[in-house]
Chain A
Amino acid sequence: MDFRDTADEAEFRRALRTWLVENLPSDWVDRMPTVGRYDEALARTWSRTLYDGGYVGLTWPKEYGGGGAPHTYQGIFLEETARIGAPDHIGGIGLGMAGPTIIAWGSDEQKKRYLPPLLAGEEIWCQGFSEPGSGSDLAGARTRAELDGDEWVVNGQKVWSSYAHIADWCILVVRTDPAAEKHRGLSYLLVDMRTPGVEVRPLRQITGDPEFNEVFFTDVRVPRESMLGNPGDGWNVAMTTLLHERGTLGFALTAALERQVLNLVKLAKEQRNDGSRPADDPVIRDRIAQQWIDLQALRFTNYRSLTSLQKTGVPGPEGSVAKLHWSETNQRLTKLALSLEGLASQLDGEGGVWDGYWQYQQLRSRGNTIEAGTSEVLRNIIAERVVGLPRSR
Chain B
Amino acid sequence: MDFAFSEEQELLRASARGYLRDRFTPERVVALAESQSGWDRATWKELAEMGWLDPSLGVLEHAVIAEETGYALLPAPWFSTVALAWPLLDQELRDAVATGDASATLATEGDVRADGATLTGTATLVPDLTSVTHVVVVAHDGLYVVDATSDVVIARSTMDRTRRLGELRLDHTPARKLTTDRTALVDVRRRALALASCEAVGVCQRALDLAADYTKSREQFGRVIGTYQGVSHRVSNIFVSLQLGRSLAYWAAWAVSEGDAQQDVAVAAAKSMASEGAVFACENAIQVHGGIGFTYEHILHRFYKRAQWLEAFEGYGRDHRAVVAAALFDPEVAA
Cα–Cα, bound, A298→B237 (Å): 15
A321 on interface, CB distance cutoff 8 Å = yes
Contacting pair A391 B227 (CB below 8 A): yes
Cα–Cα, bound, A268→B236 (Å): 33
Given A3-B254, A289-B322, A293-B321, are A300 and B247 also a contact pair (CB < 8 Å)?
A: yes
A390 on interface, CB distance cutoff 8 Å = yes
Name the A residues within 8 Å of B60 (CB-CB): 1
Q: How far is the CB of A1 from chain B (nearest CB, A)?
A: 5
A251-275 interface code vs B (CB 8 A; 1 in, 0 out): 0000000000000010011000000
B240 contacts which of A3, A265, A288, A382 (Cβ < 8 Å)? A382
Contacting pair B1 A383 (CB below 8 A): no
Cα–Cα, bound, A197→B44 (Å): 78
> Which stretch in B27-35, B109-117, B324-332 binds the other chain?
B324-332
Name the B residues within 8 Å of A286 (CB-CB): 318, 321-322, 325
Cα–Cα, bound, A286→B60 (Å): 29
Contacting pair B232 A269 (CB below 8 A): no
Cα–Cα, bound, A383→B2 (Å): 28
Cα–Cα, bound, A307→B250 (Å): 13
Contacting pair A383 B232 (CB below 8 A): yes
* B contact patch SS: helix
Name the B residues within 8 Å of A188 (CB-CB): none
Cα–Cα, bound, A325→B243 (Å): 10
Give the number of residues in B that approach A within 8 Å (Cβ atoms): 45
Contacting pair A389 B273 (CB below 8 A): no
Interface band, chain A? 35 or more
Cα–Cα, bound, A244→B237 (Å): 23
Name the A residues within 8 Å of B254 (CB-CB): 1-3
Name the A residues within 8 Å of B324 (CB-CB): 289, 292-293
* A contact patch SS: helix
Contacting pair B2 A1 (CB below 8 A): yes
B296 on interface, CB distance cutoff 8 Å = no
Contacting pair A307 B2 (CB below 8 A): yes
Given A286-B321, A289-B324, A388-B216, are A380 and B232 also a contact pair (CB < 8 Å)?
A: yes
A388 contacts which of B6, B212, B240, B251 (Cβ < 8 Å)? B212
Given A285-B322, A390-B227, A392-B228, are A296 and B239 also a contact pair (CB < 8 Å)?
A: no
A232-251 interface code vs B (CB 8 A; 1 in, 0 out): 00000000000000000000
Cα–Cα, bound, A98→B263 (Å): 40
Name the B residues within 8 Å of A306 (CB-CB): 1, 3
Q: How far is the CB of B328 from chain A (nearest CB, A)?
A: 5
Cα–Cα, bound, A386→B94 (Å): 43
Name the B residues within 8 Å of A388 (CB-CB): 212, 216
B5 on interface, CB distance cutoff 8 Å = yes
Name the A residues within 8 Å of B208 (CB-CB): 387
Contacting pair B2 A301 (CB below 8 A): no
Taking CB atoms and an 8 Å cut-off, the chain A residues in 1-40 that contact chain B are: 1-6, 9
B177 on interface, CB distance cutoff 8 Å = no
B216 contacts which of A298, A300, A325, A390 (Cβ < 8 Å)? A390
Q: How far is the CB of B245 from chain A (nearest CB, A)?
A: 8
Contacting pair A382 B236 (CB below 8 A): yes
A347 on interface, CB distance cutoff 8 Å = no
Name the B residues within 8 Å of A384 (CB-CB): 232
Given A380-B229, A390-B224, are A1 and B247 also a contact pair (CB < 8 Å)?
A: no
Please name 14 pairs of A and B residues whose Cβ atoms are closer than 8 Å in the assembled complex, sorted by A.
Answer: A1-B3, A1-B60, A72-B1, A286-B322, A289-B324, A296-B251, A297-B245, A297-B273, A299-B247, A307-B2, A379-B232, A382-B240, A383-B236, A387-B208
